[in-house]
Amino acid sequence: MRGGPLVVIGDTLLDVDIDGAAERLAPDSPVPVVDCRRERHRAGGAGLAAVLAAGLASSRVTLVTALGDDKPGERLRDILGRHVETVYVPLRGSTPCKIRVRASGQSLVRLDAGDGRAAPRPAGVAAIERIMREAGAILVSDYGRGMTALPWLAAMLGRLPGEIPVVWDPHPAGRQPLPGVRLVTPSRAEARTFAVALDSAAPGNAVRAGAPAVRQAARDATSLACAWGAAVAVTMGEHGAVLSTGDTAPFVAPAARLAPGQAADACGAGDCFAAAAVQALRGGGLLTEALVEAVSRASQFVAQGGAAAAPGRTIPAAPAARPAAVRPPGHAPSDVISGIRARGGTIVATGGCFDLLHAGHVSLLRHARRLGDCLVVCLNSDSSVRALKGPGRPLVGAADRERVLMALEYVDAVITFDQLTPSAVLEQLRPDVWVKGGDYASTELAEGAVVRRYGGEVVLLPYAERQSTSRIVAAARGLADQCASPRESSFTVSKGHG
């Protein structure tokens, strides 16, 4: 972990929420009349990312941004000064403002104002470079307002020591990420726009309409990672985020779902995601760890009310809603699969021994189920488990393991196979998405080539490192050995006197 501050660079906007109630229509036109009851101002864009980053960790945060000498600029200086250190670059024109008119928590209209652009070369750029070179990490928050297009800033970023992690949150109206960036964090729509614009993005890069968001996002992330030479994490709202480094299987971090009936204000969720990711990388976290942390923080941010809530505050995420199983009672796996496929749905499959089902298994199955319309578990037979794990396994026979799996509402079908790998059953089943735990690298998946050959996707999900059947078995055997070995008694029996 580097000891310097987190430096956030980018375009700052003044976000204004005008909240009220809409209980009637205007007499002169069929539009709602909003009785305004509250007006709330906050930092937006790079300013919001900096404030959120300051609330996520105890480290110092420095914001480098452009602000105008006008009323919105003064308001932003006051807001930002309470949370972060700020280095201001002169702004030519008026400070950008984003105004939302809301009623009962729902946005009715958004008004954008302000034409300001960062000055080409202000005084004091040498001081800005010193700040950047001393940074523990850097977040570039591009909102297409000119900061990232400044040649002197791009040159400074290019001269940074390689050990400083840089996260780039891009914008279609801004510039493409610079070489050497550790992680790029476009939204799903932004990633699609960037991927289509790439010369290498052939028409075949798009998946069929109606496919789960993760499939298109994974393909776009891989295309962009190859083109930009950086890891790319595409944020997918309620679906979480997908990470690609270009040469490994995409890694998906699912998002916690809102409680039924809970309204979602996703405004600012991307800024929260980028802020959490860069803080995780600053602390020495791996890319996958940063992705999981960023999705968790963004989910909490949305659950608490999004940007409309006080910046930097976090509350526990709402319990995830569980998807209902689609298996019809008494039907064979082939019936379930053919029914989903006939409706144009997406088949998700995963595999393993599932000997002594534990919380890590349940988490994997729950998240895998969210990637499509049904989940099929390819289960190693007893002989297959024995060949993989040794003569003492499995502890639970295949028939019982299948019954336990089918008792979970996330599992729609179980298919048992005898081979060491599920390649043969995958050739026959041909699921749209094949899921494994994040402890598997794509190079270790013998079945990965099979899945890709017929056009499927290989996806890695977070792996609960401390939860495994082998650990449970080892702990149980250790306890049994302790009980069997002669031990000194923990109490003393006194001899009688008569």
Angle of CA points 432, 434, 436, to nearest 5°: 160
Coil/strand/helix, residue 28: coil
The pLDDT, as a whole number, for residue 300 is: 87
Mean pLDDT (10-residue bins), the chain, 498 residues: 84 90 86 85 93 84 92 90 88 92 85 88 82 95 92 91 95 92 96 84 50 81 95 94 91 81 76 96 94 93 74 31 44 79 87 88 88 92 92 90 92 93 92 80 70 85 61 59 50 34
The pLDDT, as a whole number, for residue 288 is: 95
Distance CA 4, CA 187 (A): 28
Contact 435, 348 (CB under 8 A): yes
Answer whether 0.85 is exceeded by the pTM: no
Contact 167, 6 (CB under 8 A): no
Angle of CA points 381, 382, 388, to nearest 5°: 90
Q: Which domains, from first to last, does the chain contain?
A: 6-19+37-308 (3.40.1190.20), 333-475 (3.40.50.620)
Roughly how many angstroms between the first and final C-alpha of the chain, as a whole number?
A: 71
Residues that are catalytic = 271
